[in-house]
């Protein structure tokens, strides 16, 4: 397979998008009629130091 085939296929196919992060970008895609879904990403919560210490002792 030619290494640019995947990219050329992207140019000529209908966009189907997974948007991970800023919802603003998903809103913009929807406004242009693009088929897209949103993944609402959140960082893993940081534990308070004291809980982290307890966890590290028991695990």
Partner 1 sequence: MKRNFHRDSVQLLRLSEEAKNIGGIKDAAVVMGTTTNKEILQKLNLLTDEGRAASESDMILAVMADSQSAIDGGIKQIEEMVLRPPVAKGRSFYSVDAALQAVPDANFAIVSIPGEHAREIVLKLLDKGLNVHLFSDHVPPEHELELKQYARDRGLLVMGPGAGTSIIGGKAIAFANVVKKGKIGVVAAAGTGLQEVTVLLSEAGLGVSEALGTGGGDVKAKIGGITTLQSIDALEQDPATSTVLVVSKPPDADVKKRILDHLASMTKKEYVTCFVGPESYVVPANARARIRATKTLHAAVMETIRATEPSRHTEISKHFSMSQNELLDLASKISKGLSEKQKYVRGLYTGGTFAYETLVILGRMIGDVYSNAPLDHKLKLADSYRSTKDSIVDLGEEEFTVGRAHPMIDPTIRKMRLVDEAKDPEVAVIIMDFMLGYGSHSDPAGAMLGAVSEAKKIAEKDGRVLPILAHVCGTEQDPQPLSEQVAKLCNAGIEVFPTNALMAIASALISRKGKISDSTMEDVYGTYLTGF
How far apart CA 9 and CA 2 sit, in angstroms, is 12
Kindly tell me which of 24 and 58 has the beta carbon lying closer to partner 1. 24
- Site residues for partner 1, window 21-50 (CB under 8 A)? 21-32, 34, 36-43, 45-46
**CB neighbours (10 Å) of residue 26?**
20
Taking CB under 8 A as the rule, does residue 12 contact partner 1? yes
Taking CB under 8 A as the rule, does residue 57 contact partner 1? no
How far apart CA 38 and CA 53 sit, in angstroms, is 36
Footprint of partner 1 (CB under 8 A): 1-32, 34, 36-43, 45-46
């Amino acid at each position: 397979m030619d290494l640019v085939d995947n990219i050329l296929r992207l140019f000529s196919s209908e966009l189907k998008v997974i948007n991970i992060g800023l919802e603003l970008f998903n809103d913009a895609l929807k406004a242009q009629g693009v088929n897209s879904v949103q993944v609402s990403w959140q960082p893993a919560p940081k534990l308070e130091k004291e809980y982290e210490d307890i966890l590290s002792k028991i695990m």
